[in-house]
C-alpha cells in the first residue's frame, strides 16, 4: 500500500470583550444565518447553516495549495460547532490529483463564558482541530513520512493561529453591530481567512 501521512493542527484562542446592554448570550444563541462575520470575499453561504470557504494559498514544500472547505454550523447552548463536510484542493495538477488521495476532518467549537474580570467582562473562545490523512505523492516519497507530518502539522497549526484570532475579532465586531441595533450588518473581513 502507498505510504500515508497524518497531519494534525490544534489551536485554542480567546478574546476578551465588555458586554453591552444586549447580552452576549443572546447574540451567541442566534441561528447561523444571522451572523455577519462572514468574509464576503472568502465565504459563500450555501444555505442557512452551510458555507463554502476559500482558504488563502498555503505553501507546502514547493507547492501552493488552495483548500476549499464546505462547513456546517451546529448551534449549541453556549455557541456553535463548525464542522467540515468536505474539502477539495486547488492548485497545480499534482495538488489537484491529491483530491482522490486524502481525507480531512475539522471541528471548531466556538463558545463564551464570563471572564470574571468585571460584571460585564466576557470571553469568546475558539477551540479548533484539523486532521488530514494523505497518501504521500510519489514526488515526496524520498522524504521520510515523519518529516512530511512534522511540516504539515506546523502548517496546519500556523493556519489556525492566524485564522482563529481574526475570526474572534470579526465575531466581536459583529456582536457590537448587532447590539447597537445595526440592521444593515454586512459581511466583515479583508478577504483573508
DSSP 49-111: TEEEEEPPPEEETTEEEEEEEEEEEEEETTEEEEEEEEEEEEESHHHHGGGGSEEEEEEEEEE
So where are the chain's domains? 4-180
CATH topology for the 4-180 domain: Alpha-D-Glucose-1,6-Bisphosphate; Chain A, domain 4 (3.30.530)
| pTM summary value | 0.83
Dump pLDDT digits (tens) for 75-92: 888 899 999 999 998 888
Dump pLDDT digits (tens) for 116-139: 889 999 999 999 999 999 998 887
Amino acid at each position: 500500500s502507498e505510504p500515508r501521512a497524518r497531519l494534525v493542527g490544534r489551536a485554542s484562542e480567546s478574546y476578551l470583550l465588555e458586554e453591552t446592554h444586549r447580552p452576549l448570550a443572546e447574540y451567541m444563541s442566534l441561528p447561523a444565518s444571522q451572523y455577519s462575520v462572514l468574509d464576503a470575499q472568502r465565504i459563500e453561504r450555501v444555505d442557512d447553516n452551510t458555507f463554502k470557504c476559500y482558504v488563502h494559498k498555503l505553501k507546502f514544500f514547493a507547492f501552493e495549495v488552495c483548500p476549499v472547505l464546505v462547513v456546517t454550523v451546529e448551534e449549541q447552548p453556549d455557541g456553535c460547532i463548525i464542522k467540515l463536510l468536505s474539502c477539495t484542493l486547488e492548485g497545480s495538477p499534482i495538488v489537484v490529483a491529491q483530491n482522490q488521495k486524502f481525507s480531512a476532518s475539522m471541528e471548531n467549537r466556538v463558545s463564551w463564558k464570563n471572564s470574571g474580570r468585571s460584571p460585564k467582562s466576557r470571553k469568546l473562545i475558539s477551540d479548533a482541530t484539523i486532521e488530514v490523512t494523505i497518501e504521500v505523492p510519489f514526488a515526496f516519497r524520498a522524504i521520510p513520512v515523519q518529516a512530511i507530518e512534522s511540516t504539515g502539522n506546523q502548517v496546519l497549526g500556523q493556519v489556525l493561529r492566524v485564522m482563529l484570532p481574526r475570526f474572534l475579532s470579526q465575531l466581536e465586531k459583529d456582536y457590537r453591530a448587532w447590539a447597537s441595533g445595526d440592521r444593515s450588518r454586512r459581511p466583515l473581513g479583508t478577504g483573508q481567512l
